[in-house]
Structure 1
Amino acid sequence: MSKAGAPTLSVDAGGLRVAVVAASWHTEVMDGLLDGARRGLTEAGVTDVVELRVPGSFELPVACARLARTGRVDALVALGVVVRGGTPHFDYVCAAATDGLTRVSIETGVPVGFGVLTCDDERQALDRAGLPGSSEDKGHEAATAAVATVVALRKVERP
């Protein structure tokens, strides 16, 4: 199971401004991911949250890059889902989203919580979406990871 070995992150991230960028495909899964991200941010004490919806997971990197470059967000949470189909489209979208979001984080220094599900079928996506009956809550995990990274990095930054 993919959640085996996952850390328990509990941070005080009050005062941070976080942007949650979410794809629009697979409404039920995305609603679960968004709810999980909102819960994670609330539990961490984040009250300043901007939400932005984009068409799909392929568009996540450009939206996150634009938000990161404004200098107005401390962290980003990218949420999406790509379900394998019968064409190579899955591989291209997954690679583009992953590589693009990694570049955003490295090039801007703004942590990006990676909440893009890459699943073989819709059942796997639903099981990771944080819905009632789901075994995992990847939206919550992505949001918590993003703010925990900001808090960790601030401990080593110069005043």
Structure 2
Amino acid sequence: MATSLKSLSEHSSKNILDISSKKFGIIVSEWNEEVTEALYSGAYETLKQHGAKSENIIRKNVPGSFELTLASQWLAQLEEIDAVICLGCVIQGETKHFDFICDAVAHGITNVGLKYNKPVIFGVLTPDTQQQALDRAGGKHGNKGDEAAITAIKMLGF
């Protein structure tokens, strides 16, 4: 559904399990930091609101969204990690670089989840403009970080 029709921060309460013993890895891209820090805040607070313990939320930073794939593999291979949340923002530019990065990251994150048979969540914004990114990182369309955290929780309850 288009973000303009639904807030990224709204969610159904179905399949929300007790996550007090679950361990989450959150990987945050440093590129577009204003946006990714807001995504992280949303994800972290949502996990805490649903019972995750601070000590069970591990944050790792990577230089850009492209690096989310390898970092997610490093975290997913750890047995103690129950779910990985990847947060990034790739804003459309004037070249095809955007297309290559977005495609590689989406496929890479998907493949890591399949390889390790655990939730590896795609919390990467792919907007046309900085304003669209901000609108989806705690702005008028909610926060993709909230959505990514809820997705991780629900996938653990599958």
The normalised TM-score by structure 2 is: 0.89
User: Residue 106 of structure 1: which of 92, 95, 114 is its match?
Assistant: 114
The normalised TM-score by structure 1 is: 0.89
Whole-angstrom distance in 2 between the partners of 1:7 and 1:37? 13
User: What amino acid does structure 2 have at the position aligned with 1:4?
Assistant: K
User: What amino acid does structure 1 have at the position aligned with 2:153?
Assistant: V
Whole-angstrom distance in 2 between the partners of 1:115 and 1:81? 9
User: Residue 51 of structure 1: which of 59, 65, 84 is its match?
Assistant: 59
Higher RCO by CA contacts (8 Å cutoff, separation 6 or greater) = 2
User: Which residues of 2 match residues 82-93 of structure 1 at below 5 A?
Assistant: 82-93=90-101
Instruction: State the SS of the aligned residue for 2:132.
Output: helix
1:46-100 Cα shifts (integer Å, max 9, x gaps): 1111000000000001000111112120000000000000000000000011000
Q: How many residues align?
A: 150
Is 1:134 paired with 2:134? no
Instruction: State the SS of the aligned residue for 2:60.
Output: strand
User: What amino acid does structure 1 have at the position aligned with 2:90?
Assistant: V
Whole-angstrom distance in 2 between the partners of 1:8 and 1:149? 13
Match of 1:8 in 2: 12
RMSD: 1.5
Q: Report deviation, 1:12.
A: 2.5
Match of 1:22 in 2: 28
Q: Which runs of 5+ in 2 are unaligned?
A: none
User: Residue 127 of structure 2: which of 119, 124, 141 is its match?
Assistant: 119
The alignment-based identity, stated in percent, is 37
